[in-house]
Structure 1
Amino acid sequence: MSLPALAPAGATPPRPPPAVPSVAPAVPSIAPAGPGVAPLAAGPRAPSGTVPSIPSVAPIVPPIPPAAATAATPSRSTGPDLDAQQLADLEARCSRLDQLDYFEVLMLEKTATPADIKRAFYRESRTYHPDRFFQVDSRELKERINDLYKRVTEAYYVLRDDSKRKKYVTDVTGPERAQKLRFTEASEAETKAAAKKEQEEQIGTHPKGRQFFQQAQRDADAGNWAAAERNLKMALTYEPANARYKERLAEVQKQSQDESRDKGGSFKIR
């Protein structure tokens, strides 16, 4: 076995070679794209195999001017198409609704025709129908519109009927106007009773009386005056107090006499 050679006494041992330090390559800065733009500072390198995260940047939204914001938000407090004058009119009408008759509710004269009443109802419906205001925020405005439209509908229901309108005009022009402004169930019953009475006065209450009267009318239309007179007298046996039967009998008898006189004069001339 061979032994390593020993350095001679007094000799200086050799030095190890110096270590070379590991230096990371410098990352050059990125030149600015234009004047006034600062270069990106170099940062530490990300470990190998990782993806650097990209910072999120919130979009810059310019503020909306107050005037534009007001215009962009539709107003729902006054309802569609109601101007200041209409709102004032609505408030005035609702404040005295219990004092208005149906003609005043529809803003009509008491001589209005059925066509006028129909047009007025459609006019009010186009303006104040509650379905047009279902998105309105004001509860008070909604209640006013509902109250007015209910009365408008009620007015149209009564005034479009000839018999009801006739009785209603009598009621609201009489001394009990304040109690007759609304058409109630009692008013309905009174109207039906009045219509029945009028029909009875025109035709009769007894079935046999009505039968003979109607036959007399047909005879008179055909110019058969003798038959008409005979049937009217039969009708009066069932209803002797019927003024309409008596009046019609007098008319038939006069017509029969005039016709006989005309025929007699024609016969003498010949």
Structure 2
Amino acid sequence: MASVAPSVAPLVPPVAPMVPAIAPAGTPVRPPSGAAPVVPPPPPPAAVQPPPPPHPSTGKDLDPTQLAELWERCSKLDQQDYFEVLMVERTAAPADIKKAFYRESRTYHPDRFFHLSNKELKDRVNELYKRVTEAYYVLRDDAKRRQYTANISGPERAQKLRFTETSEAETRAASKRQVEEQIGTHPKGRQFYQTGAADADAGRWSAAERNLKMALTYEPANTRYKEKLAEVQKVLHEEARKQGDAFKIR
């Protein structure tokens, strides 16, 4: 019997295993047959820091126009009176002056400008703030306001723009004169007037009339004395009329 040679499988070169290609980020990956495509999420964007908000209280955000306006406001300070500093009329009511003071003091408070790089401008803003406070100190007081208004209305306006110690003394003297004009300048006249006024307050009308007439002998032109005497005599006239009516035969 003839021998049969064993069968030998043909040699096949080895095949490298299939390695799936890596698709770029965001490219759909082909799934197995019948499945929906899967899209991998895109990579997160690089973190972006927002710009810092402008600081409204430091003056760093002033643009060139605002800086120019600030320079102009400060440069006029030495030529302005207190009404102009607060930007109010001379006839402004006390409430309007107070409102203007709050507005201007907030606008030019040094804390808003402490980051200014220009030292001269910073110093001028500080001086402007002080002048705003000074203006309010004077204009809120009726006596000081009257004296100051008279000062800046005269020929020496340029020298009277600031309320100094001299202005304070002038105000006290003017107030004293006003009181004297109201109560009287003659010691005896003032004494009789004050006694007559006290009599009137207590209802002693005849005594009040006598004392007021005595006061007028010392100061016959005193308007206050005349007005008080007229008030007392009117009461006496009314009382006399009532007493006369009581004695009438009815």
- Please give the range of the TM-score, normalised by the shorter of the 2 chains: 0.5 to 0.7
Is 1:139–2:119 an aligned residue pair?
yes
> Match of 1:164?
144
Give the 3 Å change call, closer, same or farther, for CA 231–80 of structure 1 in structure 2.
Answer: farther
Q: Is the 8 A contact 1:130 1:146 kept in 2?
A: yes
**Gap regions ≥5 residues in structure 2:** 1-21, 23-46
CA distance in 2, matches of 1:264, 1:81: 83
Q: Could you list the per-position Cα deviations for residues 120-173 of structure 1 after superposition, in whole angstroms to 9, with x for gaps in the alignment?
A: 111111111123333433212211211211211111111011101112222223
**Gap regions ≥5 residues in structure 1:** 1-34, 36-63
Give the 3 Å change call, closer, same or farther, for CA 229–152 of structure 1 in structure 2.
Answer: same
Is 1:190–2:207 an aligned residue pair?
no
- Choose the corresponding residue for 2:82, options 95, 102, 118: 102
The within-5 A match list for 1:196-211 is 196-205=176-185, 209-211=189-191
Give the 3 Å change call, closer, same or farther, for CA 260–179 of structure 1 in structure 2.
Answer: same
> Larger Rg: 1 or 2?
1
Task: Tell me the amino acid that sits aligned with residue 172 of structure 2.
Answer: K
Indicate the SS of the match to 1:216.
Answer: helix
> Match of 1:229?
209
The within-5 A match list for 1:16-55 is none
Q: Is the 8 A contact 1:158 1:164 kept in 2?
A: yes
* TM-score for both structures, normalised by structure 2: 0.66
> Match of 2:94?
114
CA distance in 1, matches of 2:87, 2:138: 15
Q: Is the 8 A contact 1:201 1:242 kept in 2?
A: no
Task: Tell me the amino acid that sits aligned with residue 144 of structure 2.
Answer: K
CA distance in 1, matches of 2:77, 2:212: 52
Q: Could you list the per-position Cα deviations for residues 193-227 of structure 1 after superposition, in whole angstroms to 9, with x for gaps in the alignment?
A: 01001111112356664443223223334443212
Task: Tell me the amino acid that sits aligned with residue 196 of structure 2.
Answer: A
Task: Tell me the amino acid that sits aligned with residue 117 of structure 2.
Answer: D
Give the 3 Å change call, closer, same or farther, for CA 88–136 of structure 1 in structure 2.
Answer: closer
- Choose the corresponding residue for 2:241, options 256, 262, 270: 262
Is 1:128–2:116 an aligned residue pair?
no
**Percent identity among equivalent residues?**
63
Query: How far 1:241 moved relative to its partner?
Result: 5.8
Give the 3 Å change call, closer, same or farther, for CA 113–73 of structure 1 in structure 2.
Answer: closer
- Choose the corresponding residue for 1:243, options 222, 231, 240: 222
* TM-score for both structures, normalised by structure 1: 0.62
Q: Pairwise CA RMSD of aligned residues?
A: 3.7
Q: Is the 8 A contact 1:118 1:156 kept in 2?
A: yes
Give the 3 Å change call, closer, same or farther, for CA 194–264 of structure 1 in structure 2.
Answer: same
> Match of 1:215?
195
Give the 3 Å change call, closer, same or farther, for CA 146–262 of structure 1 in structure 2.
Answer: same
Q: Which moved more, 1:117-126 or 1:217-226?
A: 217-226
CA distance in 2, matches of 1:144, 1:269: 86
> Match of 1:155?
135
